[in-house]
């Protein structure tokens, strides 16, 4: 095995993937845009006819509310969580950057599983 050839093959494949991904992303964006326009037409139809759904021979279109919740004021939010012991408002995941800072400072963080995997990385010269 010649390492120079393997690195060249890898870079060529990565470049091909990048090109294919770019083409896919552009086409996918176009299709999503077309679908959004159709969704708006269907929503307008449902609203104007007072329907929550419309069954057709190709499928059923229906309205569904989607809720997104974000933090607008971190201090107020976390003060509320602490004062009310409302930890159920929090999701359980570890901030990797903060965890690494604790570890770098020699602090052991209990209750955390850490998985590290060696991976080959290749940089184009």
d(CA 63, CA 54): 9
Q: Count other Cβ atoms within 10 Å, centred on residue 60.
A: 8
Residue 92: which of 108, 73, 112 has the closest Cα?
112
- Residue recorded with tokens 């139809």: 45
19-28, 42-51, 114-123: which range is least confident on average?
A: 114-123
59-86: pLDDT as tens digits: 999 999 999 899 999 999 999 999 999 9
Domain boundaries, the chain: 3-104
């Amino acid at each position: 095995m010649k390492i120079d050839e393997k690195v060249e093959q890898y870079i060529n494949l990565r470049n091909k993937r990048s090109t294919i991904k770019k083409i896919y992303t552009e086409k996918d964006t176009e299709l999503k845009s077309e679908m959004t326009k159709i969704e708006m037409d269907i929503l307008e139809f449902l609203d104007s006819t007072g329907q929550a759904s419309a069954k057709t021979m190709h499928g059923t279109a229906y309205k569904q509310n989607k809720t997104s919740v974000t933090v607008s004021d971190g201090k107020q939010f976390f003060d509320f969580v602490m004062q009310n012991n409302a930890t159920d408002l929090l999701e359980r995941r570890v901030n990797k950057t903060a965890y690494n800072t604790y570890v770098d400072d020699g602090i052991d963080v209990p209750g955390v599983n850490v998985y590290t995997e060696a991976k080959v990385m290749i940089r184009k010269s």
